[in-house]
A = this chain, B = another copy of it.
């Protein structure tokens, strides 16, 4: 209907001959799936060839996400009915637990970015401990590359299967990995007070996620135990070449998107906050999406809404020898679908920021 007489530049991202890469989205009825579709709408090289959602098979995506009605997109089908021969790459946006088997069944020619937690933990016994079931694809686990782009870019470039990081681990590792590698902070005393928007929980229909239960209040859930802990500790331990145990307290905030990690660290003897600042500056000065702000400027979640940026900064603490690090991301973008696209760009040989030039929707 919308392609009548008027000459205008085509909007929407359905795969066509103009697009060199045909992309599938598995699990398109959740928030990370729909966010991939939002981002792809402006991507010059990727087109959407395939959308799956088993329980919504046969429906147009607009019946699940009315805001996608203005794009031309394929209807939802069941994974089992998908023909992957016309697809070059997939974003796998399925729930953890079911993902391992489905990815194991995908053809070999596909590049895969998995947004679930199913391939993030190298130690499959740790997976079993935290997710309550045995790993179903241990052989693939060995192949999977952890997709924290700024830290593992070269490995990702050559990967076939990328395990896209969780939102909390992304916001924590970006500032801490360079500081730990440079031995600037004490790894036995890392305290992370993290605040997340509600969309981090996905579109799951649970009482504690109702508007009436979330608005106008704070919920500290998982005070002593949260599934993003082992993933974060894995990354920090890699940086430290030694086991790191963190203090991690997530808080659910009355906001849709956005995540802030306020990180309290003890500096190594003789180290100053200026040293931390300079190290982060060196690490990230050529990065587009990991951005150290100017001296004293506080990172704000408002500045990253809808964008792929991770903004960070370092502040002196009143207690001598300690520093405070603040890091903010949009949990659905750099914390999920945006970083996934950044990774797929790399895997397909494109500039990693292609199609990711979104600026924050503020106010």
Binding site for B on A (CB under 8 A): 1-2, 4-9, 11, 31, 34, 37-38, 41-42, 65-71, 188-189, 191, 193, 195, 197-199, 203, 205-207, 209-221, 223-224, 229, 245-249, 251, 253-258, 260, 262, 264, 285-288, 291, 293, 297-307, 309, 315-319, 322, 324, 326, 328, 332, 351-354, 356-363
- In the bound assembly, the distance between CA atoms of A257 and B216 in angstroms comes to 7
Q: Say yes or no: A288-B31 contact (C-beta < 8 A), given A218-B258, A246-B319, A248-B318.
A: no
Contacts of A1 in B (CB 8 A): 285
Asked if B215 contacts A303 (CB within 8 A), the reply is: no
Whether A300 contacts B218 by the Cβ 8 Å rule is yes
Given contacts A198-B212, A220-B260, A245-B318, 12 further A-B contacts (CB under 8 A): A6-B288, A11-B288, A11-B353, A11-B356, A66-B302, A68-B359, A191-B322, A198-B215, A209-B211, A215-B255, A247-B317, A247-B322
Residues of chain B lying within 8 A (CB to CB) of residue A362: 34, 38, 65, 67
For residue A220, which residues in chain B have a CB less than 8 angstroms away from its CB?
Answer: 260, 262, 298-300, 326
Q: Chain A binding site: helix, strand, loop or mixed by DSSP?
A: loop
A359 touches B212 (CB 8 A): no
User: Judging by beta carbons under 8 Å apart, are B212 and A215 in contact?
Assistant: no
Contacts of A353 in B (CB 8 A): 8-9, 11
Q: Distance (Å) between the CB of A143 and the closest chain B CB? A: 27
Known: A1-B285, A260-B218, A285-B4. A67 touches B246 (CB 8 A): no
Task: Select A361's contact among B206, B211, B287, B305, beta carbons within 8 Å.
Answer: B305
Q: State whether A319 touches B245 (Cβ < 8 A).
A: yes
Which residues of chain B are within 8 angstroms of A248 by Cβ–Cβ distance? 318
Residues in B neighbouring A212, C-beta threshold 8 A: 31, 198-199, 203, 209, 256, 363
Structural contact, B224 and A302, CB atoms closer than 8 A: no
A212 to chain B, nearest CB (A): 4
Listed A/B pairs (29) with beta-carbon separation below 8 Å: A5-B286, A9-B351, A9-B354, A31-B212, A66-B303, A67-B305, A67-B360, A69-B303, A70-B359, A193-B262, A193-B264, A205-B206, A211-B254, A213-B363, A215-B255, A215-B256, A216-B258, A216-B302, A217-B300, A218-B301, A218-B328, A219-B300, A224-B316, A224-B317, A224-B324, A246-B319, A247-B264, A251-B260, A306-B306
Are B223 and A351 in contact, with the CB atoms below 8 A? no
A256 contacts B195, C-beta separation under 8 Å: no
* CA–CA, A326 and B251, complex, Å: 11
Given the contacts A211-B254, A218-B260, A262-B251, A357 and B205 also touching, CB distance less than 8 Å: no
Closest to A264 in B: B191
A167 to chain B, nearest CB (A): 14
Q: Are A199 and B363 in contact (CB under 8 A)?
A: yes
